[in-house]
Amino acid sequence: MKRINASDLIAALLILLYVYTAASKLLSFNDFQMQMRQQVFPAWFKEVLIWILPLAELFVAVLLLIPSTRQTGLGLSAVLLLAFTLYIGLALVHVFDRVPCSCGGVFRRMGWKLHFWFNLFFLLSNSYAIVRTVRERRTAAS
């Protein structure tokens, strides 16, 4: 039985993050819909995001859960986190004149600055897990 390593812990944390945020959005779906409709994206994109975001989060969580798809999950997770972090960064420098937080659960109370650092921490951890996983595979292959 293989021991749990840092990549496994990071994957578990990411699963916790994605399942929590997706479930929070789905449990308050009306609120989430209304907040998303006030975002500064084109209308068609907002309607797509309303459904895609929670489903993508759950999909990534499933990929992270299954060992054979974990690396794919880590990659997609990094893309998602990068997109979220960039969005929050742009909101912090007031690129958007109107940024309601369509965040789920406790993240609504976080404030943009804390949310930015929180996302950055997960993005860096995610990146570390990717690098570690790739190295482990190379070591196992050689």
Q: How many residues bind another protein (CB under 8 A)?
A: 40
- Give the nearest distance from C-beta 10 to another protein in angstroms: 11
From 7, 5, 16, 4, select the one nearest 118 (Cα to Cα).
Answer: 16
Q: Is residue 111 near another protein by the rule CB under 8 A?
A: no
What CA–CA distance (Å, rounded) separates 18 from 72? 15
Here's the x/- map for another protein, 61-100, by CB under 8 A: it reads as x--xx-x-----------------------------xx--
Q: Is residue 43 near another protein by the rule CB under 8 A?
A: yes
CB 6 within 8 A of CB 129: yes
Instruction: Output the CA–CA distances (angstroms, integers) from residue 59 to 20, 56, 68, 72, 134, in the order listed.
Output: 13, 5, 14, 11, 21
Q: Which residues bind another protein (CB under 8 A)?
A: 1-4, 8-9, 11-13, 15-20, 23-24, 27-28, 30-31, 33-34, 37-38, 40, 42-44, 46-47, 61, 64-65, 67, 97-98, 104-106
